[in-house]
Amino acid sequence: MKEIVFGVRLRSLVLRAGLLCVLPLGHIVSAQPVSPGVTVTSIGVTGLNQFDTGLGSGGSFNWQDANANVNVTRQITGQFAAGVNVRYGYQNWKWTSPTAFNGRGPWSSIETPALGMSFFYSPTPEWRLGFMPTVEWSGESGTGTGGTATYGAVMSAARRFSKDLTLGFGAGVFRQIDQTKVFPYLVVNWNITDKLRLSNPLPAGPAGGAGLELSYALTEKWTLAGGGAYRSYRFRLNDTGPVPGGIGQNKFVPLFGRLSYQLAPSTRVDLYAAATVGGNLSVVDASGNTSYSDSYKTGVAAALSLSHRF
């Protein structure tokens, strides 16, 4: 038996600096295995806009994010499933007199193709173990793939305590171009009531953990939710900018709200609004020295997602 699912999902709020567009990790890890031989395919696209945001030392910036994602997962046996994920992301940044960066935008556009795999094993009906290796190439347009690789893996273990509660623990280890990052996170899928749910809204990966989201079913068609996470991105700069061959970094905490509408049993629209707090932008030169760094004020972002299933 084969099941094909076509999805247009929000690439996590928050993103590649925005919203993630793969299936939420918490749902993948905590869900019980489907029947052997079933293949699930999802295709996703997303768009995000962060409005003009002030820099701590003066000036401002804004950016737009577009992302496409394809994920295929097959339940090979009753205990074992494996999948592959292909993703491409593009960000366009615009700057206005950034004082801390000598009045010149340190980067303009960022491209991030990525390839990942997923392996899930259920030694018992209650437990599910996950291992998800990923490699992505994150760099300013014109950089190519040389010196842009971020690679590593996310590991997780989750236990189903009841039909309404799955809890677990995960950890990611990634080499972000020139820096190794290790982060833990909680795996949560808890139906507190028939309408109230606590879960992971984002996929854990090179940028950080899966975050937490509390959602409430207003009606059969409307759902209201809110959550947050921590995100950190590093990317190689090209040789024609103000810091040739350097590394850019964007760190922030996105706090977001989601309003979803079920257009049909297999079609859903998601509207997201987010505030990015505690943000910091920095540039490291080719010698490994921090050339520029500046915090930024609370930013506001919005995104729209359409998902369809068949």
Q: Among residues 293, 292, 206, 283, which one has the least CA distance to residue 245?
A: 283
Q: Considering the domain boundaries, does residue 20 fall inside one?
A: no
Q: Considering the domain boundaries, does residue 58 fall inside one?
A: yes
Does residue 28 register a pLDDT over 70?
Answer: no
Reported confidence tier of residue 25, pLDDT bands at 50, 70, 90: very low
User: How far apart, in Å, are the Cα atoms of 189 and each of 7, 20, 273?
Assistant: 21, 18, 23
Q: How many domains does the chain have?
A: 1
Q: Are the beta carbons of 281 and 252 closer than 8 angstroms?
A: no
Does residue 14 register a pLDDT over 90?
Answer: no
Q: Tell me the per-residue pLDDT of 113-138, one tens digit each, with 9 for 90 and over.
A: 999 999 999 999 999 999 999 999 99
Least confident of 14-23, 36-45, 79-88, 243-252: 14-23
Q: Tell me the average pLDDT of the chain.
A: 86
Q: Considering the domain boundaries, does residue 16 fall inside one?
A: no
Q: Quote the pLDDT of residue 309.
A: 64
Length of the chain: 310
Q: Among residues 116, 94, 118, which one has the least CA distance to residue 105?
A: 94
Dihedral angle over CA of 249, 250, 252, 257, nearest 10 = -150
Specify whether the backbone of 101 is left (phi greater than 0), alpha (psi in -120 to 50) or beta: alpha
Q: Quote the pLDDT of residue 310.
A: 62
Does residue 254 register a pLDDT over 80?
Answer: yes
Structural domain including 101 reads: 25-308
User: How far apart, in Å, are the Cα atoms of 214 and each of 125, 157, 191, 222, 225?
Assistant: 26, 21, 10, 14, 6
Task: Determine the 3-state secondary structure of 90 from DSSP.
Answer: strand
Q: Considering the domain boundaries, does residue 6 fall inside one?
A: no
Q: Are the beta carbons of 268 and 306 closer than 8 angstroms?
A: yes
Does residue 206 register a pLDDT over 90?
Answer: no
Reported confidence tier of residue 32, pLDDT bands at 50, 70, 90: very low
State the Cα–Cα distance between residues 227 and 201, nearest whole angstrom. Answer: 8
Q: Considering the domain boundaries, does residue 118 fall inside one?
A: yes
CATH number where 60 lies: 2.40.160.40
Does residue 65 register a pLDDT over 60?
Answer: yes
Q: Are the beta carbons of 21 and 9 closer than 8 angstroms?
A: yes
In the chain, the amino acid numbered 129 is L
Instruction: Please list, in sequence order, all residues whose beta carbon lies within 8 angstroms of the beta carbon of residue 222, skipping any fewer than 6 positions away.
Output: 259, 260, 261, 262
State the Cα–Cα distance between residues 94 and 241, nearest whole angstrom. Answer: 14
Dihedral angle over CA of 189, 16, 19, 57, nearest 10 = 110
Q: Quote the pLDDT of residue 148.
A: 94
Q: Considering the domain boundaries, does residue 268 fall inside one?
A: yes
Q: Among residues 189, 160, 159, 158, which one has the least CA distance to residue 171?
A: 158
Q: Among residues 106, 86, 10, which one has the least CA distance to residue 41?
A: 86
Number of CB atoms found within 10 A of residue 290's CB: 12
**In this prediction, what percent of the chain has a pLDDT beyond 70?**
88
Q: Quote the pLDDT of residue 205.
A: 83
State the Cα–Cα distance between residues 35 and 262, nearest whole angstrom. Answer: 26
Least confident of 69-83, 84-98, 254-268: 254-268
Q: Are the beta carbons of 109 and 117 closer than 8 angstroms?
A: no
Q: Considering the domain boundaries, does residue 272 fall inside one?
A: yes
| pTM of the shown model | 0.83
